[in-house]
Structure formats: C-alpha cells, structure tokens
Amino acid sequence: MSIRTYRNITPALGERVYVDPDSLVLGDVEFGDDCSIWPMAVVRGDMHRIRVGARSSIQDGCVLHITHSSEYNQGGFPLIIGDDVTVGHKAILHGCTVGNRVLVGMGAIVMDGAVVEDEVIIAAGTVVTPGKRLESGYVYAGNPAKAMRPLKESEHDFFAYTAGNYVRLKDQYLADSIAQS
C-alpha cells in the first residue's frame, strides 16, 4: 500500500488528493487539497513532519525527507512546501522550506535548512546547499545554486499554469480509478 502509518501517525490527505499506488507516503505527512504524488515518489515523514500545500505536484521518482533532531542538529528540519509548487522528476527535497509558486527542476537537490522564497525557478540539476536562501523572483542554477537572472513576466504566469495542469491531470487519474472500481 502506498500510504502507511508509522508510529501511530497516518498521513493526512486534503480533498481530491491523488497518491499513485506505486509511490510511498508514510508518517507525519499532510497534503493540501488537489495535490498529486506520482509513481515512485517517496515521502518519508518518519522522524519529523512534512507539509505540502494545495495544488502542489510531486513528480515521478522524487524523494521528500526531513532532518531529525539530534545533538548535532537541535530541533532538526521539517520539510515544508507551499502552494502551487511543481517538484520535477527525481528531485530531492530534504529538511528544507519551499515557498509558494515554485518550480523545482528535474534532478534538483534542496538540502537541510535551505529556504526557497515564493516565485522561484530552480533549474534542472541544481544543488541548493544547506542553509542557503533563494530570494524571490529569480531563476537559480548550478552547483552550488546561483541566481542566473530575474524571472520573466511569462515565467510568473507559468507557476499557476503548471500547477493547474497537474491538478487537471490528477483529476483524470482520480476519475479513471473511480470508473474502474
């Protein structure tokens, strides 16, 4: 089963959430309304919490995890993702905070304690190092991540388009699964 209880905590799903049967979601995880979690994604809220805002999409092969609290890391880092976020295929988000209307490119890595402000594009393959802050309104790329340029007006509009596109797609998957029942 793709949704599992861990230590008596079961993931909480908002309205109309699609969790692909070939993904894994466990523990202290909450998804807002209209989220989608695609095949082979792993969302592990086993030692801290994960919160994902409305209309966010976690693409195929993503890994979402946290940083636990220890003597080396007081309090740890939860994973917090805002609304209208698209997380591209095989991205890794680990113990970080991602704002609203963000595109995380394929294969990008966002590490412990990093903060991504609202309206940011993280290019494919980018590595956001621990504790780094990505300011709103820019495209970031590279290893380590660096601001490449300000967002274009069309890119600001793209956040809502991408989120809406995945909401429509997951609605089709939900309708198909109901029809097959």
pLDDT at 178: 84
- Side-chain-side CA neighbours of 95 within 13 Å: the count stands at 19
Per the structure block, which two tokens stand in for 20? 């692909």
56 phi and psi, to 5 degrees?
A: -90, 150
Of 14, 50, 21, 49, which is closest to residue 37 (Cα–Cα)? Answer: 21
The string of pLDDT tens digits covering residues 136-166 is 999 999 999 999 999 999 999 999 999 999 9
Domain count, the chain: 1
pTM greater than 0.75: yes
* 179, pLDDT greater than 90: no
| CB-CB contact of 157 with 141 (8 Å) | no
Residue 171 lies in domain: 3-180
Q: What is the pLDDT of residues 107-145, one digit of tens each?
A: 999 999 999 999 999 999 999 999 999 999 999 999 999
pLDDT tens, position by position, 59-103: 999 999 999 999 988 999 999 999 999 999 999 999 999 999 999
pLDDT band at 1 (very low <50, low <70, confident <90, very high): low
Find the CATH number of the domain harbouring 11. Answer: 2.160.10.10
Q: Is 5's pLDDT higher than 80?
A: yes
CB 66 within 8 A of CB 84: no
Other CB atoms within 10 Å distance of the CB of residue 63: 16
pLDDT digits (tens, 9 = 90+) for 9-61: 999 999 999 999 999 999 999 999 999 999 999 999 999 999 999 999 999 99
